[in-house]
A and B are shown apart, each in its own frame.
Chain A
Amino acid sequence: MDASEVEFLAEKEMVKIIPNFSLDKVFLIGGDLGPFNPGLPIDVPVWLALNLKQRQKCRIIPPEWMDVEKLEEMRDLERKEDMFTPVPSPYYMELTKLLLNHASDNIPKADEIRTLVKDIWDTRIAKLRLSADSFISQQEAYAKLDNLTLMEINTIRAFLLDTLNCMYKLRSNLQ
C-alpha cells in the first residue's frame, strides 16, 4: 500500500464546513450529502471540503482534536507511556497535512499544531521501531499493538515483512 492510498482513504473522514452557497440534497453512491445552506455548518467528507475550499465556496472548521492544548496533553501523555496511547483520530497525520496545506487560514495557530502533531508522530514511530526491533531480536512469534493508525502501520509494513522473510530464509537455510 502506498502512502497516497492511505491519504485517499483518509479523505473519507467527515469534517465540518460552513458553505457560502446553497444546494439541494446530493445523492451520491457513498451516501447522501445534506442540503447546503449558506452560513449553516454541515458535515461533509474531507475530499469535498477541500474541493469546495479551493473553489472558495466554504470555510473549514478544524476538528475538535485540532487544538493546541489538547494536542499538548496528548503529546505529553504519549511521551510518558511505554505503550501506544489512543489517537485523536485514526487518520490524524493525513488530516493534519491536508487541512493545514489547503485551509491554514481557517485554522488558528496552524504552525504550532503542525509542530505538535509532528512531535506525536515522531514519538509513536520511535516506539514502533523499538517494538519491532525487540520483536525480531527476541524472535517472538506473536505481538499485539493497540492504537496504531493505518499510516504508521504502512510505514513499517514493507520493512518488517521483508526482514521477517529474510530471517526465515536464513533460518531455513541453516537447518
Chain B
Amino acid sequence: MFIADIRKDFYEVVANQRVVLLVAPDIDALCACKILQALFHCDQIQYTLVPVTGWQELGTAFLEHKEQFRYFVLINCGANVDLLEMLQPDDDSIFFICDTHRPVDVVNVYNDTQIKLLIKQDDDLSVPSYDDIFRDEDEEGEDSGNESDEGSEPSGKRRRFDEGAVERRIERQRAKREWEARRREILFDYEQYEYHGTSAAMMFFELAWVLTKDTKDMLWWAIIGLTDQWVHDKITNMKYVTDIATMQRHVSRHNHRNEDEENSLSIDCMRISFEYDLRLTLYQHWSLYESIYNSCYTSCSFKLWTLNGQKKLQEFLADMGLPLKQVRQKFNSMDMSIKENLRDVIEESSNKYGMKDIRIQTFGVHFGFKNRFLASDMVHATAALLESAEKDDSETDNFIKALDALSRCAKETKFTLQRLNLLTFPLKMSSFFFLLFSLCRSNIDRLHSGIALAKKKLIAIQQTVASCICTNLILSQGPFLYCYLMEGTPDVKLFSKPMALTLLCKYLLKAFVHSTRNKRCKLLPLVMAAPKDVEKGTVIVVGIPPESETSDKKNFFGRAFEKAAESTSSRTLHDHFDTSIIELKTEDRSKFLDALITLLS
C-alpha cells in the first residue's frame, strides 16, 4: 500500500521503536541510508543497519532479526518481488519499502496491512487496477449450491431450470476464462520492462524537509543519490532535469537562509552551488587530458581507440589554444588564465566537433579551503570504494568505507559512537568494529582514496572498451549484441562486480554505436558476460537496453533471462535486486545464449 503522509504513517510509527534497515549496495541506497541515519540520530531512534547484496542475504538477515524486531525498512530492494511470499513473515512484521525498482509487484501495492511503500503514488507507475487482477471468489459457491438443490425437482421444470442454470454456468466460466486471459496479458505488459523511479535519497530528503530537520548535508546526499541514477544510466534525461530543478529549489532555499552581506559564513561551512559543468569525469581531481581521454562521452565522440581519434583530440586541444604541457598537468596546477574560461572555451570547441551536450546541469559542494567536489565525483569515488576488489576487504567493510566517504568530517562519526544507537552487523563481519575505531584517517582521506580507485576503474574501462572494439569482440547474435570478457583480460577482477560491469557495458555499447557502420546493429541491446568466480566457475551476465538519444531506459532482459534459464534448465542465480544481472555457470553459457536468441527473435 502506498503511504500518503510520510511523516504520520512512517516516521511517527517508528519513532519509539527499534528498526532494522536493510540497504542495497548502490550509491542511491547509501545516500538514503545516511539521511535516515541522521534523522534517527536526531530523535534517538534505535536502529540496526544491515547491508544486503541480494535476495538470499535479504532472506537470511530477515530470519536473523525477525524475533527481535517488528519494523523493517528496506532501501532500494524488495519492491519488485512478492515480498510476503518470499520472506514468509509473521503477521505483525511491518515492511517499509523505499525502492527505485519498477514495476512494483502488484501484491505489494494492494496489501493493506504489512507492506507500506514509501513511494509517491504518481511516480510513473501505471499499476493495473485492482479489479483487473484480483477477483473475489464468492460467486462460485452460489452455483454449486443451486445445482444440488435442484437435483430432486420434477423432470419438466427441472430440465428448464437445469438448462437455465447450465447456460448461466457456462457463461460464467467463459467470462472467467476471458478475465484470466486478460489478467495474464495485463500482468505480462506491466511486468515486462524493468526501469527505475525517483531516487530513494530524494524521498528521504523530502521526509527530512517535512520534519524541518533538513540540513545541507542531507541535501548534498540527496543530490548524490540523484546523480548516481544519472551516472549509472537508470533514469531518462527528462527525469534527471526535472529532479535537478526540484533540488535546485532546495539549494536556493538553503543558500538564501544563511548567506548575508555582513554576516558571511565561516569557510568551513558547507556551500552547495548549482553548476552547469562539463561532462568530463573527475576532471578537477585529474589532469584535463586524462579526463577527456577516459570520459565516456568524449572518448566515444572522438573514437579515441583509433589513431585518427587521437589526432582529432590533439586538434581539439589545439583549437582551444590549450598547450599540451598545461593540459597534462594536474588540474589544480593549471594556469589560472586557462582555468577561468575553461568551460565556455570547451563548449564552443566541442560544438564544432559534434559534441552538443558537453555540459550538464549538476551541483558542486565547497567546504574548507581545499575541498571542492562535484556530485558526479562523489558518485564515482563512492562506487569505486563500494566495489573495490581488494582481497582483504569483505563486502561490509567496503560498505562502511563507502558510507564514511559520504560524511564530511570524522567528528560526525565519533558523535555517532557516543549516541545510544545500536549499530550491529551479522557476526561474521566483526571486523566492522575494528574499522570503526580505526577512523583516525579523516573521511576526506577516504574520499580521496575513493577518487584514486575511481580513476583506476575508469582507465581500466577505457582500455577494455578500446581492446574490445579493436579486436571485434562484440558479436551480433541477431536480436542482440553479445560480448564475453575472457579470463585473462587485464583488470577483469574489477568487472566481476555488477555496477562496474554495467558501466563497462554502457560505455561499450556507446563506443560500438559510434564505431560501427551497420545501421541495424546500432539499435540492438547488449548482453555482456564476464567471469565472476574462477574457482566456482561462474560468470556474471548483464543486459542493457539499446543506446539512443531518447531511450526510456526500460530493460526487458530480466524476464528474458528468467525464461531462458527455465527453458534450458541452466544453473543460474537470480540473486540481484536488478533482475537484468544474473550469475551463470560457465558451462551453461552457450545453451543459455541459444535459448535467449530463440526467445528474443
Contact = CB atoms under 8 A, between A and B. Distances in A.
B269 A56 contact: no
A41 to B, nearest CB: 18
Contact of B265 (A57, A101, A105): A105
Contact of A109 (B42, B43, B44, B264): B264
A54 B39 CA distance: 11
B529 to A, nearest CB: 48
B266 A110 contact: yes
B42 A57 contact: yes
Contacts of A20: 212
A56 B42 CA distance: 7
Given A55-B41, A55-B42, A111 B411 contact: no
A108 interface: yes
A170 to B, nearest CB: 41
A100 B269 CA distance: 11
B266 A111 contact: yes
A104 interface: yes
Contact of B267 (A54, A56, A111): A111
Nearest to A110: B266
Nearest to A57: B42
Interface in A93-149: 100-101, 104-105, 107-111
Residue among B43, B265, B415 facing the most chain A CB atoms (10 A cut-off): B265
Contact of A100 (B213, B264, B265, B266): B266
Given A55-B42, A56-B213, A56-B215, A104 B264 contact: no
Contacts of A56: 42, 213, 215
Contacts of A105: 258, 265-266, 269
Interface string B262-273: 111111110000
B43 A104 contact: no
Interface in B300-333: none
A60 B263 CA distance: 15
A82 B265 CA distance: 35
A86 to B, nearest CB: 27
Chain B contact surface mostly = loop
A66 to B, nearest CB: 13
Interface string B211-222: 011010000000
Interface in B381-417: 411, 415
A100 B266 CA distance: 9
Q: Which of A20, A56, A101, A111 has most chain B Cβ within 10 Å?
A: A56
A104 B266 contact: yes
Contacts of B262: 108
Given A105-B265, A105-B269, A111-B266, A55 B411 contact: no
Task: Give the size category of B's interface with A.
Answer: 10 to 19
A173 B258 CA distance: 66
A105 B268 CA distance: 9
Contact of A108 (B41, B215, B263, B268): B263
Nearest to B43: A55
Contacts of A54: 41, 415
B263 A104 contact: no
Nearest to B270: A105
Contacts of B42: 55-57
A81 B268 CA distance: 34
Contacts of B215: 56
Interface residues of A, number: 14
Interface in B229-272: 258, 260, 262-269
Nearest to A55: B42
B42 to A, nearest CB: 4
Contact of B269 (A55, A104, A109): A104
A24 to B, nearest CB: 18
Contacts of A57: 42
Nearest to A100: B266
Contacts of A110: 265-266, 268
Interface in B43-74: 43-44
Contacts of B44: 55
A19 to B, nearest CB: 13
B413 to A, nearest CB: 13
Nearest to B44: A55
A101 B411 contact: yes
A20 B212 CA distance: 10
Interface string B132-168: 0000000000000000000000000000000000000
B286 to A, nearest CB: 30
Contacts of B43: 55
B510 to A, nearest CB: 43
A69 to B, nearest CB: 13
B249 to A, nearest CB: 21
Nearest to A54: B415
A87 to B, nearest CB: 23
B258 A109 contact: no
A20 B43 CA distance: 13
A107 B263 CA distance: 8
Interface string A40-70: 0000000000000011110000000000000
A57 B215 CA distance: 12
A17 to B, nearest CB: 16
A108 B260 CA distance: 10
A100 B268 CA distance: 10
A107 B264 CA distance: 9
Contacts of B258: 105
Contacts of B264: 108-109
19 contacts: A20-B212, A55-B41, A55-B42, A55-B43, A55-B44, A56-B42, A57-B42, A100-B266, A104-B265, A104-B269, A105-B258, A105-B266, A105-B269, A107-B266, A108-B262, A108-B263, A108-B264, A111-B266, A111-B267
Q: Which 8 A-B pairs have the closest CB atoms?
A: A108-B263, A110-B266, A104-B266, A55-B42, A56-B213, A111-B266, A105-B269, A56-B42
Given A55-B41, A107-B266, 14 more contacts: A54-B415, A55-B42, A55-B43, A56-B42, A56-B213, A56-B215, A104-B269, A105-B265, A108-B262, A108-B264, A109-B263, A109-B264, A110-B266, A110-B268
Interface of A: 20, 54-57, 100-101, 104-105, 107-111
